[in-house]
Structure 1
Amino acid sequence: MGIATTNPANGDVLKTFEPLSDRDLEAKLDLAQQTFLNYRTVPMQQKASWLNRAAEILEAERDRFGKTMTLEMGKPLKAAIAEVEKCASVCRYYAENAPQLLADVSVQTDASHSFIRYQPLGIILAVMPWNFPLWQVFRFAAPALMAGNVGLLKHASNVPQSALAIEEILHRAGFPTGTFQTLLIGADQVAAIVADDRVKAATLTGSEPAGISLASTAGKHLKKVVLELGGSDPFIVMPSADLETAISTAVTARMINNGQSCIAAKRFILADAIADEFIDRLVEKYRALKIGDPLLPDTDIGPLATPGILKDLDQQVKMSVQQGAKVLIGGEPLSDRPGNFYPPTILSEIPAGCLAEHEEFFGPVALLFRVPDIDAAIRRANDSPFGLGASAWTTNQQERDRFIEEIEAGSVFINGMVKSDVRLPFGGIKRSGYGRELGKEGIHEFVNIKTIWEK
Structure 2
Amino acid sequence: MKPIQLISPVDGRVYAERMPLSPEAAETVVARAKAAQKPWAARPLEDRIALVKAGVAKLNAMSEVVVEELAWQMGRPTRYGGEFGGVNARTDYMASIAAKTLAPEMVEDSAQFRRFLAREPVGVVFIIAPWNYPYLTTINTLVPALIAGNTVVLKHASQTLLVGERLAEAFHAAGVPEDVFQNVVLDHATTEALIAKRSFGFVNFTGSVAGGAAIERAAAGTFTPLGLELGGKDPGYVREDANLDVAVDVLMDGAMYNAGQCCCGIERIYVHEKLFDSFVEKSVAWVGQLKLGNPFDASTTLGPMAHKRFAQTVRDQTAEAIAKGAKPLLDPKTFADDGGAYLAPQILVNVDHSMRVMREESFGPVVGIMPVKTDEEAIRLMNDSPYGLTASIWTQDYETAERIGAQIETGTVFMNRADYLDPALTWTGVKDTGRGTSLSYLGFHSVTRPKSYHLKKV
The TM-score normalised by the length of structure 1 is 0.95
1:29-428 to structure 2, matched below 5 A, reads: 29-81=30-82, 83-107=83-107, 112-330=113-331, 337=338, 340-428=341-429
Contact 1:10 1:338 in 2 (8 A): no
How far did 1:197 drift?
A: 3.4
Cα deviation, 1:141-178, whole Å, max 9, x if unaligned, reads 00000111111111111211112111111111111111
Distance 2:414 2:163 in 1: 31
Contact 2:27 2:194 in 1 (8 A): no
Give the letter for the 2:342 counterpart. Answer: F
Distance 1:191 1:274, change over 3 A: same
Distance 1:222 1:59, change over 3 A: same
Cα deviation, 1:117-155, whole Å, max 9, x if unaligned, reads 010111111111110111111111000001111111111
Give the letter for the 1:252 counterpart. Answer: D
SS of residue paired to 1:178? coil
How far did 1:3 drift?
A: 2.1
Runs (5+) with no aligned partner, structure 1? none
Greater shift, 345-354 or 298-307, is seen at 345-354
Contact 2:198 2:219 in 1 (8 A): no
How far did 1:60 drift?
A: 2.2
Give the letter for the 2:144 counterpart. Answer: P
Contact 2:267 2:358 in 1 (8 A): no
Distance 2:101 2:170 in 1: 24
The alignment yields a C-alpha RMSD, in angstroms, of 2.0
Cα deviation, 1:9-43, whole Å, max 9, x if unaligned, reads 21122221111223322221221111113212111
Contact 2:129 2:206 in 1 (8 A): yes
Give the letter for the 1:346 counterpart. Answer: I
Distance 1:317 1:97 in 2: 45
Greater shift, 400-409 or 374-383, is seen at 400-409
How far did 1:231 drift?
A: 0.4
Distance 2:349 2:370 in 1: 7
Greater shift, 208-217 or 111-120, is seen at 111-120
Distance 2:333 2:427 in 1: 34
How far did 1:388 drift?
A: 0.2
How far did 1:243 drift?
A: 0.7
How far did 1:432 drift?
A: 0.6
Distance 1:338 1:2 in 2: 27
Give the letter for the 2:96 counterpart. Answer: E
- The size of the alignment, in residue pairs, is 454
Distance 1:74 1:350 in 2: 29
Distance 1:290 1:31, change over 3 A: same
Distance 2:289 2:124 in 1: 48
How far did 1:396 drift?
A: 4.4
How far did 1:70 drift?
A: 1.5
Distance 2:154 2:217 in 1: 19
Distance 1:43 1:348, change over 3 A: same
Distance 2:48 2:193 in 1: 30
Distance 1:424 1:63 in 2: 30
Greater shift, 337-346 or 164-173, is seen at 337-346
SS of residue paired to 1:134? helix
Distance 1:332 1:371 in 2: 31
Distance 1:158 1:180 in 2: 21
Give the letter for the 2:239 counterpart. Answer: M
Distance 2:38 2:397 in 1: 55
Contact 2:196 2:219 in 1 (8 A): yes
Distance 1:336 1:254 in 2: 18
Give the letter for the 1:248 counterpart. Answer: D
SS of residue paired to 2:125? strand
Runs (5+) with no aligned partner, structure 2? none
Distance 1:269 1:39 in 2: 50
Greater shift, 330-339 or 257-266, is seen at 330-339
SS of residue paired to 1:177? coil
Give the letter for the 2:213 counterpart. Answer: I
How far did 1:216 drift?
A: 2.0
Greater shift, 398-407 or 175-184, is seen at 398-407
Distance 2:296 2:343 in 1: 17
How far did 1:415 drift?
A: 1.0
Contact 1:374 1:399 in 2 (8 A): no
Distance 1:402 1:94, change over 3 A: closer
SS of residue paired to 1:391? strand
Distance 1:420 1:397, change over 3 A: closer
The TM-score normalised by the length of structure 2 is 0.94
Distance 1:244 1:437, change over 3 A: same
Question: What residue in structure 1 maps to residue 13 of structure 2?
Answer: 12
Give the letter for the 1:402 counterpart. Answer: R
How far did 1:282 drift?
A: 0.3
Distance 1:232 1:333, change over 3 A: farther
Contact 2:393 2:416 in 1 (8 A): yes
Distance 1:255 1:49 in 2: 37
Give the letter for the 1:96 counterpart. Answer: S
Contact 1:55 1:92 in 2 (8 A): no
Distance 1:164 1:339, change over 3 A: farther
Contact 1:323 1:351 in 2 (8 A): no
Greater shift, 350-359 or 1-10, is seen at 1-10
SS of residue paired to 2:402? helix
SS of residue paired to 1:222? coil
Distance 1:297 1:102 in 2: 44
